[in-house]
């Protein structure tokens, strides 16, 4: 499959799509010093959320998809140098509204779990 959405994303900040299938995407994020929140290298949660959001949008893979809502939990800390794998799967949709489950792992450890709601608009949200 070809990625059809969020084509201008900075993959250094949001990760790289490594697997793409109908209703499914996997994104790999290599955490960097630019993502650190403190001197110990704790990765700021915004970068983790950004990668999860990107994975969710890639799973829908429509050019005009937008995030409408989310609920998430950070389950374990991530540090600079970690490689995180985000797995996003569309659990239901009605053609325009999608529910996507995203889980992220560092090795075998689940570090993030989220539910995202996305909407596919008839045209770009900015007109």
% of the chain at pLDDT higher than 70: 100
- Domains of the chain: residue spans and CATH: 11-120 (3.10.129.10)
Query: Structure pTM?
Result: 0.96
- Provide mean pLDDT across the span 80-108: 95
Tell me, rounded to whole angstroms, the distance of Cα 47 from its chain centroid.
Answer: 10
The one-character DSSP state at 13 is H
- Provide mean pLDDT across the span 48-65: 97
* Predicted local distance difference test score (pLDDT) of residue 33: 98
pLDDT averaged over every residue in the chain:
97
**DSSP string for residues in 29-69:** EE--GGGBSSTT-BBPHHHHHHHHHHHHHHHH--TTEEEEE
* Predicted local distance difference test score (pLDDT) of residue 71: 98
- Provide mean pLDDT across the span 60-87: 98
């Amino acid at each position: 499959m070809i990625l059809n959405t969020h084509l201008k994303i900075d993959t250094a900040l949001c990760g790289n799509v490594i697997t793409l299938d109908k209703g499914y995407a996997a994104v790999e994020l290599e955490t960097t010093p630019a993502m650190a929140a403190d001197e110990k290298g704790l990765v700021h949660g915004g970068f983790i959320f950004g990668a999860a959001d990107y994975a969710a949008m890639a799973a829908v893979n429509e050019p005009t998809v937008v995030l409408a809502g989310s609920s998430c939990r950070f389950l374990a800390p991530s540090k600079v140098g970690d490689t995180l794998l985000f797995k996003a799967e569309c659990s239901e949709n009605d053609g325009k509204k999608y529910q996507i489950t995203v889980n992220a792992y560092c090795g075998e450890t689940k570090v993030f779990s989220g539910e995202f709601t996305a909407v596919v608009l008839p045209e770009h949200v900015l007109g």
